[in-house]
A = this chain, B = another copy of it.
Amino acid sequence: MNTSQLCPKFEKAMSILSKRWTGLVIYQLLSGPQRFCTIESSIGISGRLLSDRLKHLEDEGIVKREVYPETPIRIEYSLTEKGLALQPLMKELEKWSQDWITSKDT
């Protein structure tokens, strides 16, 4: 019996953020559009999972993917308007982490 008293929209939002790596991928893309391998090395996720997460974020309309047929091929991922709208939340998390996470915690 799942007698949820929570707002379904809030629950959905939380389910996106509480999937491992998605938060960090979004945070990373807040610094600008970037390619697969850049995200991969900057947050330390494996290609297998990054591929999966980017697909999901595209499905959610948070990330968009653009192909530039250069040499070698360049594929850039960036945030949509919906994704960019998460910036205030990320700022709050930055603030909280600075205020409350001690260096021992890491």
Question: Is A9 positioned at the interface, with any CB of B under 8 Å from its CB?
Answer: yes
Bound Cα distance A103, B106 (Å):
38
Question: Is A37 positioned at the interface, with any CB of B under 8 Å from its CB?
Answer: no
Question: Is A14 positioned at the interface, with any CB of B under 8 Å from its CB?
Answer: yes
Interface of A is mostly: helix
Q: Please encode chain A, from 93 to 106, with 1 for each CB lying within 8 Å of some chain B CB and 0 for all others.
A: 11111111101011
Q: How far is the CB of A79 from chain B (nearest CB, A)?
A: 12
Bound Cα distance A13, B22 (Å):
13
A residues contacting B by CB (< 8 A) are: 1-14, 17-24, 27-28, 41-44, 60, 82, 85-86, 88-89, 92-101, 103, 105-106
